[in-house]
């Protein structure tokens, strides 16, 4: 893993890019929450994982955390903990088809390397 910790250099009061949702990602998020009135959207965070360092964690959310930032597009809400922003700032979230599989895909400009299987990344 890198010896530089993105959290050490992240200033939430400075200008940053935030996260963006493609139209396809926004549509899929809306589908995920449309049948449960308690769900507000999805939360994207990171967790320690794999051989390189971190993995994306995406889950539906009914009650956001007090420190979550909200990114919206076409009615879809993406909640991101402020603590994850040093790792996720500038990321574009897409929903893609690859062969027979459909999945969320993350285009993160901060990723310096990823493991061969694509499960984990480092910034």
Domain ranges of the chain: 18-122
To the question of pTM greater than 0.85 for the whole model, the response is: no
Alpha helices in the chain (DSSP H): 6-9, 23-33, 85-88
Fold of 18-122: Hypothetical Protein Aq_1857; Chain: A; (2.60.300)
Print pLDDT tens along the chain (123 aa): 344 444 444 555 567 789 999 999 999 999 999 999 999 999 999 998 867 788 889 999 999 999 999 999 999 999 999 999 999 999 999 999 989 999 999 998 888 777 666 566 677
Give burial (CB, 10 Å; 0-12/13-18/19+) of 36: exposed
């Amino acid at each position: 893993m890198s010896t530089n910790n993105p959290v050490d250099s992240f200033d939430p009061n400075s200008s940053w890019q935030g996260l963006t949702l493609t139209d396809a990602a926004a549509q899929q998020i809306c589908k995920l929450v449309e049948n449960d009135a308690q769900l507000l959207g999805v939360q994207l965070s990171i967790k320690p994982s794999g051989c390189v360092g971190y993995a994306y964690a995406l889950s539906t959310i009914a009650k956001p955390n007090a420190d979550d930032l909200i990114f919206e597009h076409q009615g879809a809400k993406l909640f991101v903990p402020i603590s994850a922003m040093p790792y996720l700032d500038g990321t574009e979230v897409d929903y893609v088809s690859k062969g027979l599989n459909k999945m969320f895909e993350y285009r993160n400009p901060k990723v310096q390397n990823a493991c061969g299987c694509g499960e984990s990344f480092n910034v």
